[in-house]
Amino acid sequence: MRHRAPLIGVLVALALTAGYWFALYKPALAEQQAYETQTDELLQQQSQLRTEIARLEDIRDDEERITSVVRRIADYVPIGIAQPDVTRQFQDIADAAGVTITSVTFGEPTVVVGAPETGDPATALASVAVSMVVEGSYFPTVDFFRRMERDMPRAVLTESVNLQEGQRSFPSLATTWGGSLFAIVPAASTVAPDDPSAAPGGAAEDAPGSEEDNPS
């Protein structure tokens, strides 16, 4: 009996310890670990939010410049071809350079392959082939194309320039310019790039400063 009493006490102590471990300490430890995991996740989210807030603050501070860039892009690549506006812009540049535009021809809108999305699935970025004949002497003609590169509000891609003697004979030159404009248009109004109808030769317009309008 003398040896059993201490043994029973040890067994009771072990039982109490095991009970404490399984009933109290282990659940508390698991709960603590869960809290620590949640805390780490919250700290990561906090760091991400701080980064995002800093980025948004940078955008806010740069709002004026960003707005200016967006407006400029809208001028370069507008919604719709705006054919009359383009013709007038060409004519303003021709007047400033001292040459005469005798004809302007617009092709059909052609989808730009690999272009970024416009944000509206019903629209697409398209190029519009343009052919234009300009009459004038050499230096005014060069000035016209210089001004077109510098002052044209629209994005213009020059693809070909051909010079020949003008109707008034040398030094008058008739320069045929071929290039492209760009616009965001309804996707249904565009043609495939390999479609023959996409080639230049669409609707032609008499330029405001044509030979018939400015006799001399």
Buried b / exposed e over 144-156, threshold 16 CB at 10 Å, is: bbebbeeebebeb
| 116 shares a domain with 45 | no
| 83 shares a domain with 57 | no
The predicted structure's pLDDT at residue 80: 82
| 111 shares a domain with 135 | yes
| 93 shares a domain with 190 | yes
Is pLDDT of 196 > 70? Answer: no
Look at residue 125 and tell me if it is in a domain. Answer: yes
Query: In which element (H, E) is residue 183 found?
Result: strand 173-186
The predicted structure's pLDDT at residue 168: 65
Instruction: For residue 202, give the DSSP letter.
Output: S
Q: How many domains does the chain have?
A: 2
Among 37-51, 141-155, 199-213, name the most confident range: 141-155
| 56 shares a domain with 101 | no
Burial (CB < 10 A; 0-12, 13-18, 19+), residue 9, is: exposed
CA–CA distances in Å: residue 113 to residues 65, 84, 192: 30, 26, 9
The predicted structure's pLDDT at residue 12: 57
Look at residue 175 and tell me if it is in a domain. Answer: yes
**DSSP-based three-state secondary structure for 120:** coil
Please give the residue range of the domain that contains residue 43: 4-61
Region 160-180 average pLDDT: 84
> pTM of whole model > 0.85?
no
Among 42-46, 61-65, 71-75, name the most confident range: 42-46
| 99 shares a domain with 16 | no
The predicted structure's pLDDT at residue 98: 94
Look at residue 159 and tell me if it is in a domain. Answer: yes
The predicted structure's pLDDT at residue 204: 46
Cα–Cα distance between 54 and 52 in angstroms, integer?
5
| 81 shares a domain with 55 | no
| 97 shares a domain with 41 | no
